[in-house]
C-alpha cells in the first residue's frame, strides 16, 4: 500500500471525505459505489465497485463470439478500464484505462458510430480507433460499454453490426441486473 500523506478525520456520523485529488486520480464520481475491505493488519481499503467486473469471464466469452461473427476486434469496459478484449491481443488491452471522451459518452448515455470523419481513440496508450461505442446500462446505471474497433480499414459499421452491438449491450446489462 502506498501512503498519500493525507489525513482526514471521521465526523460524528462516521463519514470521511475522500480527497478530490484521489477521487480524480481513481476516477471516482459522485454516486459511484465503493467496496470496503479490511485486512489482518487493521487496514481499511476502499475499492471502486465494478458490477461489470464480476461478470468478466462471461463477458469475455460473449465478446469473443460477437467479435468472431462481426470479424472485428471488440472491447468491453467498465466505467474505468477494459475488462474484456476479443479479436486482438488481450494482454495489450486488458486493464488499460478508457479515454475521457469515452467516459463522457457513458456519463451522457450516448452511443458513438464512426461516420467517416472523426477518428476517436477509446483506450489510453493505444492507436486503434473506435468504429462504435454503446453504453451498457443495468438498473438505470451505466456500468460500462461495448467498443467495436476498426479492423484496419477505416469504414463505418454496417446496420447489422450496429444492431448486434446494441443488442449485446442490452443483453449484458440485463445479465448484470440478475
pLDDT digits (tens, 9 = 90+) for 58-69: 888 999 999 999
- Domain 52-177 belongs to what topology? Beta-Lactamase (3.30.450)
- CATH 1.10.10.60 for the 1-49 domain, yes or no: no
Residue 30 has pLDDT above 90, yes or no: no
Phi and psi at residue 176, to the nearest 5°: -75, -20
Confidence of residue 168 (pLDDT cuts 50, 70, 90): very high
Residues 6+ apart with CB under 8 A from 117: none
Mean of pLDDT values over 117-142: 88
Residues 6+ apart with CB under 8 A from 41: none
pLDDT at 70: 93
**Which of these ranges, 74-78, 91-95, 166-170, has the smallest mean pLDDT?**
91-95
Longest dimension (CA), the chain: 59
72, 148 Cβ separation under 8 angstroms: yes
Confidence of residue 89 (pLDDT cuts 50, 70, 90): confident
Reported pTM: 0.75
**Three-state secondary structure readout of 154-165:** CCCCCHHHHHHH
Q: Do 1-49 and 52-177 fold alike per CATH?
A: no
Mean of pLDDT values over 37-50: 80
Domain spans of the chain? 1-49, 52-177
Amino acid at each position: 500500500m502506498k501512503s498519500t500523506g493525507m489525513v482526514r478525520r471521521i465526523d460524528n456520523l462516521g463519514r470521511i471525505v475522500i480527497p478530490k485529488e484521489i477521487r480524480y486520480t481513481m476516477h471516482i464520481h459522485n454516486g459511484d459505489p465503493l467496496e470496503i475491505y479490511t485486512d489482518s493488519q487493521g487496514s481499511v481499503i476502499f475499492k471502486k465497485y465494478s458490477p461489470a467486473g464480476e461478470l468478466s469471464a462471461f463477458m469475455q466469452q460473449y465478446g469473443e463470439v460477437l467479435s468472431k461473427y462481426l470479424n472485428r476486434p471488440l472491447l468491453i469496459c467498465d466505467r474505468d478500464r477494459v475488462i474484456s478484449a476479443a479479436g486482438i491481443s488481450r494482454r495489450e488491452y486488458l486493464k488499460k484505462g478508457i479515454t475521457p471522451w469515452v467516459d463522457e459518452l457513458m456519463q451522457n448515455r450516448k452511443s458513438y458510430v464512426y461516420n467517416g470523419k472523426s477518428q476517436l481513440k477509446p483506450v489510453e496508450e493505444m492507436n486503434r480507433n473506435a468504429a462504435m461505442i454503446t453504453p451498457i446500462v443495468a438498473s438505470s446505471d451505466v456500468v460500462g460499454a461495448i467498443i467495436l474497433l476498426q479492423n484496419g480499414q477505416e469504414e463505418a459499421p454496417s446496420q447489422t453490426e450496429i444492431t448486434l452491438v446494441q443488442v449485446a449491450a442490452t443483453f449484458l446489462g440485463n445479465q448484470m441486473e440478475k
